[in-house]
Structure 1
Amino acid sequence: MALSDRTGAIVQIAQVILNGLLLGGLYAAMAAGFSLVWGVLNIINIAQGSAVVLGSYVAFFAWRYAGLNPLAAVALAGPLLFAAGWLLQRFLIQRVVAAPVLITLVFTFGMDLILNNSMISLFTADYRKIEGAFPTMPLTLGALTLPVDRLLAAVAAIGAAFALHFYLHKSRLGRAIVAVRMDRQTAELMGVRVEIIYATTFGLGLAMAGVAGCLLAAIFPTSPLNSAYYLHVAFVACVLGGLGSVLGAVAGGLLLGVVESLGALLVGAEYGTTVAAVALLLMLFTRPQGLLGRAGYE
């Protein structure tokens, strides 16, 4: 291989990895809330993907009718979905939270069907896109290019995930959430109101979905048909990073973004989901607790 060809191949791979990291930043925000809910409540929230889509619609309509930038719409979608998640868990999911995992799985599956079909009925399945929210001129780093819109969205998404991590470890309520995740019975004996912690955790999970949806709306077209793919992304990134760990979700999201991008380069974009599934199986075989998870944690 000629030197110029080798250099070109290296630049191409570096560009693909860079694009994967930017995409993985958005995945991290989706996975962080999903991982938190799964780790604390032991609930696999099938409605997480639809919650991401709902966040995208909040950003889309805020942009169309109020001229609100998707970054600013985060301050609207986050609290709205937090409140919805808090109420859903406190008055509905709490009734089955102690049931076997199959019951809660079916329950959140039903929630997903209701939410997704409601969005199709209200907004139709047509794809909608926010245009002109971010600058379109890319940044250049030597031979590499950085799309400004994806860079801003990825930085904001990772920033939101780190903000959640610091909240969990620095605030009193956040430390109570961590305590319940580690040992519910001991936390109860110490006076922690577990039902309130569960509601707050579920609210935070949906809030992170809303944040991710707002940022995704500035990059990709929005439709209720996207919900299944977003759920797939959150699930895979959560398992790759480690159950219940927000930083693990960030690591898993970044890894998933890079794996999908390299897979698209090597075997074709149509096999991106297959490549992600193979990465998931390899992680389960070699390190089932994930990148940053704890061995033996369930």
Structure 2
Amino acid sequence: MDLLVQVLINGTLLGGLYAMMALGLALVWGVLNIVNLAHGAFIMLGAYVSLYLFTYLHIDPFLGLPITAAVMFAIGYCVQRGLLNLIVRAPMFNTLLITFGLEVVLTYLAQLAFSADFRTINPSYAGDSIVLGPVVLPLARLLAFGVAIALTVGMWVFLLHTTLGRAIRATAQNLVAARLYGVEPRHLYAVTFGIGIALAGTAGGLYGTVSQINPYIGAALTAKSFAISIIGGLDNPLGVIVGGLFLGILESLTALYIGPTYADVASFGVLVLVLIVRPTGLLGKAA
């Protein structure tokens, strides 16, 4: 029983981080209708930005997250205005090709810059834990979970209760009406994509504190982010929390009872089941 409780807690902590990873993808997909296959590569770049800040500037990885977010926002804004804005109204297949090519380019540039070695961000408290009876809470994972959930909920509040957030939602729902109210789509699209990449970069900084990173982690993280976005539902900002927690707990239970090699099989098996039974996601609105 103690082992099951520990596994459920580990899955919950992992799921919070998964939710943070998927948030940027879901935002860009829902507003720009772009399935960003380079999303995981941006998560990877964010992890390396945090690693650089920690290794060379000696900035705590959690305190350095605002800097990582700002750097990644600037990169995302420029990528959207300079590249993706050209195909934002193109067929979905074109956007998939462009973002896939971008993922390949970013991966190989990262390999040239950082090598293919596995690295991790190891602050002094990386090995510390909080013990509550039979349950052990790794401090780094607990901090990453707290930051991830806080930012995910904060993004939900931002979209619902700020002028910019309402403009983003209005553009996603009805572009013509948004134009009539003075919204400039090209700038708003770039800001939205920049926010999505900033969230991805922040998730990468958190990921680097709890797991190893190298330039090739992006594809797997994109796949998980995609699955979480579908499972939770794109039209509910809190859906990624549900999807992330669900996926994290499912993977942990699968690893315990079946084997760690089957964790991804279970995750994507559930994705297929959700697409068949409820295509709008667990929290999505039925048509």
Query: What is residue 34 of structure 1 aligned with on the other side?
Result: 25
Contact 2:126 2:209 (C-alpha < 8 Å) held by counterparts: no
Query: Which deviations, in whole Å up to 9, do the C-alpha atoms of 1:39-64 show, x marking residues without a partner?
Result: 00100001110100101101111111
**What letter corresponds to residue 243 of structure 2 in structure 1?**
G
Query: What is residue 49 of structure 1 aligned with on the other side?
Result: 40
**What letter corresponds to residue 268 of structure 2 in structure 1?**
A
The alignment partner of 1:71 has SS state of coil
The alignment partner of 1:212 has SS state of helix
CA distance in 1, matches of 2:279, 2:146: 28
**Is residue 156 of structure 2 the alignment partner of residue 165 of structure 1?**
yes
Query: What is residue 3 of structure 2 aligned with on the other side?
Result: 12
Alignment map for 1:168-179 (pairs within 5 Å): 168-179=159-170
Query: Which deviations, in whole Å up to 9, do the C-alpha atoms of 1:241-282 show, x marking residues without a partner?
Result: 111433111111111101111111111001111010111112
Query: What is residue 112 of structure 1 aligned with on the other side?
Result: 103
Query: Which deviations, in whole Å up to 9, do the C-alpha atoms of 1:70-95 show, x marking residues without a partner?
Result: 11121111011111111111121111
Query: What is residue 201 of structure 1 aligned with on the other side?
Result: 192
Structure 1 runs (4+) deviating above 6 angstroms are none
Query: What is residue 55 of structure 2 aligned with on the other side?
Result: 64
Alignment map for 1:152-231 (pairs within 5 Å): 152-231=143-222
Contact 1:58 1:73 (C-alpha < 8 Å) held by counterparts: no
The alignment partner of 2:238 has SS state of helix
Query: What is residue 285 of structure 2 aligned with on the other side?
Result: 294
CA distance in 2, matches of 1:287, 1:137: 41
**What letter corresponds to residue 113 of structure 1 in structure 2?**
V
TM-score w.r.t. the length of structure 1 is 0.93
CA distance in 1, matches of 2:282, 2:172: 18
Aligned-pair CA distance for 1:235: 0.6
Query: What is residue 3 of structure 1 aligned with on the other side?
Result: none
TM-score w.r.t. the length of structure 2 is 0.97
Aligned-pair CA distance for 1:291: 1.7
Query: What is residue 131 of structure 1 aligned with on the other side?
Result: 122
Query: What is residue 74 of structure 2 aligned with on the other side?
Result: 83
Q: How many residues align?
A: 287
CA distance in 2, matches of 1:293, 1:252: 11
Aligned-pair CA distance for 1:68: 0.8
CA distance in 1, matches of 2:68, 2:121: 16
**What letter corresponds to residue 147 of structure 1 in structure 2?**
P
Query: What is residue 250 of structure 1 aligned with on the other side?
Result: 241
**What letter corresponds to residue 82 of structure 1 in structure 2?**
F
CA distance in 1, matches of 2:156, 2:70: 17
Contact 1:52 1:212 (C-alpha < 8 Å) held by counterparts: yes
RMSD: 1.2
